[in-house]
Amino acid sequence: MKKSKNFLQTIVEKDLQSGKYKEIITRFPPEPNGFPHIGHAKSIFINFGIARDYNGHCNLRMDDTNPTKEDTKYVEALKDAVLWLGYRWEGNIHFTSDYFTQIHEYAIKLITMGKAYVDSVDEEKMRELRGTVTEAGKRSKYAKRTVAENLDMFERMRKGEFKDGEHVLRAKIDMSSANMKMRDPLMYRIRHAEHFRTGNKWCIYPMYDFAHSLSDYIEGVSHSICTLEFENNRDIYNWVLDTLDLTPPRPYQHEFARLGINYTVMSKRKLLELVKGKYVNGWDDPRLPTIAGLRRKGYTPESIVTFCDKVGIAKANSMVDIAQLEFTIRADLNTKVPRVMCVLNPLKITLVNYREKGEKLDASYYPDDVPKKGSRALPFSREIYIERDDFEENPPKGYFRLTPEQPVRLKHGYIIACKEIIKDINGCITEIKAEYYPTSQSGSDSSGIKVKSAIHWVSADTAKRVEVRLYDRLYSSEIPESIEDLNPNSLKVITDALIEPAVVNEKPDERFQFERQGYFYADPIDYTDEKPVYNKIVGLKDSWGKKTKVTLQKSQTKEKKEQIDGEVVAMTPEQEKLFDRYKKELKLNSEIANTLARDADLSAFFEMALKVLYSPINLANIITNEVAREIKQSSKDSLKFTPNQIAELIEMVDKATISNKIAKQVFEEMVTSGANPKEIVEKRGLLQISDPDHIGRVIDEVIEKNYENLEKFRAGNKKLLGFFVGQVLKATGGKANPKLVNQLLVQKLG
Ligand code: ATP
Ligand code: MG
């Protein structure tokens, strides 16, 4: 299926067609002041991707205009990241510092044109003169300096006659511009500091806006793609290039939305704080969202590129669920890596009736339905280890693994049954005496014994001791605000896990699925043959938040496969067809389509609701979250609500009769009372408020109460819009139409 174009591709194609550019040249321009993170991966994906798509090229340029924060080790990390992701830059690496001489000449040209001047007021005065959003600024008295005076002052700045901050060079643009950035922006400042490339050659350094536009021009860049926070800088970008009257073609700036992911932080400054404060073990700590961290954790470059592609290129900032990133790596590894057995928390089992010396079982590394083939000889013997929680003396209902009454299959091996439990003086189980069924071998089972699941295990005499590092989310809060939000359990080290010998001896791969545990990666740094170390890449399914049940399908083949807890099996052809339809036709995202397609109850529910109301995305959302939770907790027959009613509920959301938030409240009542959604809404007066006058009055009250925030907002802190929206929604008990609230607030806040 052909993918639709994103807005950047549309612009690029138009520019090629009109002949504006002969070749598409982009650049990825990081500041080498920290290791790149997955947000940078998105920028790399876009810049290098566009160049590749249109047979152009992309430069890698270090934006090194701030001598005090930059370092060559960061340059190396940036190079590594780009190469590892699979991209190649054109020619040498570029550095803005390569252009310092040219940029300096352009500054002199602007001074000569009367378009730039040396200002000598202090910082505070400068801020004061700048004005506010509602008030025009004023030029300082130094703006009257003549061209000759300015040239002289600027030259003396360059020669190092002044201290840091004594003078600056400013562009002479417009002190009353509505765009505060255009009020005579700084072009050069004095910094007596050694630069990691130019040493002490310069003590004046160009500011971002000035250096960036010119570097783009010097390199012949056609499309200068950056993130949204530079939107207001675009006017300066254009002003610099237009005013200098450069030979065309010249580059233009285009902005896209920054990538944000929950449960983590995404700014080099914050990452540096974590590294410096030793909250993590260096820039490549697998818990960090740095490229180096993800790589060390075991992410593949393909999975990251796929993720960047999937989140899309948009003009509105949004937060992506980290579960989506995890989904991508799982999907990537599912059919690629060998499946092996590793016991993290061993419990010894002695098979009392096993009298052989031991044997080797033939065990495939891959399930039948993946194209990859390969197998190993799996040692089996009288003493084995299983996972401690795969045995329960007093099992809860629905426990499918080994119990005193219930036999279980050893994956690739025999069925075993518990005969005796051995405990220490504290009552802790130290060993299980069990029997195996000689005729029950996997693949040629003639025992007739029924089991409900298969568990992983290792043979005691040949298993290797390994270290396993289990990673969890770095922060426990969805939108972390400070170090205090760090998750204290983000790293758990198990030093005495037991793994089957082939993994260590034969090393069939670097990445593995440890059966029922998740995906793991041989740590590229700490792994030695004496002490193998494996990092957990990701679990087999999302164990956080939205816990939707993945009902595992019993295989259609004659030989019935046991259900394995937590293992994500490949889809059946029917499920795949559903998945395809959900994704392509109904435009559901992959994760939701996956959940629905794999769960017959959920998809049946969804299909019924869809017949009543064609609103696939909203229906799928509530069904894979709220409805799935209820089905899981009770059973599908004891539900008090019907697909019909869910459709009715969503119809009210679609028609903006109620908000999404209210819909959740209504749902909770439907679950307990079984009442009709419409009745609940009427009875409880939950109708959405869409009357602009009504909302307007509430907004006025909220603004009055939060006058200080209003000023901050008007002074440029646009993030406070969210604060105001929240306050208005709260004041209406969540009933105000959020879209309308937004619109009206934007008008009123000015
Ligand atoms: P940080 O705030 O993490 O330091 P930055 O924007 O200062 O990021 P730069 O090194 O200046 O980082 O960025 C290089 C390029 O990567 C820029 O074009 C920037 O817009 C882009 N970029 C940085 N962070 C993100 C992100 N989260 N999503 C998408 N692009 C990003
Ligand atoms: Mg930065």
Residue 12 predicted with pLDDT over 70: yes
In contact, 181 and 205? CB cutoff 8 Å: no
Residue 543 has what pLDDT?
59
Residue 261 predicted with pLDDT over 50: yes
Residue nearest ligand 1's atom 25 by CA: 39
Residue 74 predicted with pLDDT over 50: yes
Cα-Cα end-to-end distance for the chain: 44
Nearest in space to 251 (alpha carbons), one of 273, 228, 220, 282: 220
Give the other-Cβ count within 10 Å of 437's Cβ.
18
Please state the rounded mean pLDDT for residues 244-251.
Answer: 96
Query: What class is the 116-206 domain?
Result: alpha beta
Q: Residue 13: what residue type?
A: E
- Dihedral angle sign, alpha carbons of residues 114, 120, 126, 129: negative
What's the 3-state SS for 95-115? EHHHHHHHHHHHHHHHHHCCC
Nearest in space to 345 (alpha carbons), one of 457, 476, 487: 457
Residue 562 has what pLDDT?
42
Residue 563 predicted with pLDDT over 50: no
Strands 259-261 and 318-320: parallel
539 SS3 class: coil
Strands 94-95 and 57-62: parallel
What kind of fold does domain 272-334+467-538 have according to CATH?
A: Glutamyl-tRNA Synthetase; domain 2 (1.10.1160)
In contact, 120 and 167? CB cutoff 8 Å: yes
Residue 704 has what pLDDT?
79
CA distances from 746 to 434, 691, 713, 722, 723 (A): 71, 16, 11, 11, 12
Give the mutation target among 28, 38, 43 for probing the ligand 1 site: most ligand atoms within 8 A of CB.
43
Q: Residue 383: what residue type?
A: E
Look up residue 518 and give its two tokens: 């998740």
198 SS3 class: coil
Greater confidence (631 vs 160) lies with 160
Write down the H helix ranges in 409-513. Answer: 501-505
Residue 648 among the catalytic residues: no
Residue 349: phi and psi, rounded to 5, are -125, 130
Residue 375 has what pLDDT?
96
Cβ < 6 Å from ligand 1: which residues? 29-31, 39-40, 42-43, 63, 226-227, 258-259, 266-269
Residue nearest ligand 1's atom 27 by CA: 39
In contact, 31 and 19? CB cutoff 8 Å: no
Residue 28 has what pLDDT?
98
Lowest-confidence pick of 43-52, 92-101, 166-175, 547-556: 547-556
Nearest in space to 644 (alpha carbons), one of 677, 603, 612, 600: 612
Q: Which residues surround ligand 2, an ion (CB under 5 A)?
A: 31
In contact, 65 and 94? CB cutoff 8 Å: no
Q: Which ligand does the CA of 270 lie closest to?
A: 1
CA of 172 to the centre of ligand 2 (A): 26
Nearest-atom index, ligand 1, CA of 269: 4
Per-residue pLDDT of 178-224, as tens digits, reads 899 999 999 999 999 999 999 999 999 999 999 999 999 999 999 99
Please state the rounded mean pLDDT for residues 401-424.
Answer: 97
Residue 636 has what pLDDT?
66
Nearest in space to 163 (alpha carbons), one of 202, 128, 191: 191
Residue 552 has what pLDDT?
33
Region of 264 (left: φ > 0; alpha: ψ -120 to 50; beta: rest) is beta
CATH architecture of 692-749: Orthogonal Bundle (1.10)
Local confidence band at 635 (pLDDT 50, 70, 90 cut-offs)? low
Greater confidence (717 vs 554) lies with 717
Give the mutation target among 28, 40, 95 for probing the ligand 1 site: most ligand atoms within 8 A of CB.
40
Residue 568 has what pLDDT?
52
Residue 731: phi and psi, rounded to 5, are -65, -25
Per-residue pLDDT of 545-560, as tens digits, reads 433 333 333 333 333 3
Residue 686 predicted with pLDDT over 90: no
CA dist 524 and 535 (Å) reads 10
Residue 224 has what pLDDT?
98
Domain spans, the chain: 116-206, 272-334+467-538, 339-462, 692-749
Residue 632 predicted with pLDDT over 80: no
Per-residue pLDDT of 103-123, as tens digits, reads 999 999 999 999 999 999 999
CA distances from 132 to 135, 173, 179, 250, 711 (A): 5, 16, 10, 32, 10
Residue 564 has what pLDDT?
42
Please state the rounded mean pLDDT for residues 656-675.
Answer: 86
Per-residue pLDDT of 587-597, as tens digits, reads 998 888 888 99
Lowest-confidence pick of 154-168, 325-339, 446-460, 716-730: 716-730
Helix (H) or strand (E) holding 495: strand 491-499
Please state the rounded mean pLDDT for residues 369-392.
Answer: 96
Give the mean pLDDT of the chain: 91
Residue 132 predicted with pLDDT over 90: no
Residue 572 predicted with pLDDT over 90: no
What angle is formed at CA 637 by the lines to CA 631 and CA 640, rounded to 5 degrees?
75
Greater confidence (687 vs 604) lies with 604
Asked if the 339-462 domain carries CATH number 3.40.50.2300, the reply is no
Residue 296 among the catalytic residues: no
Nearest in space to 227 (alpha carbons), one of 77, 70, 39: 39
Helix (H) or strand (E) holding 519: strand 518-522
Please state the rounded mean pLDDT for residues 251-258.
Answer: 95
Please state the rounded mean pLDDT for residues 290-314.
Answer: 94
Greater confidence (439 vs 750) lies with 439
Residue 618 predicted with pLDDT over 70: yes
Greater confidence (734 vs 120) lies with 120
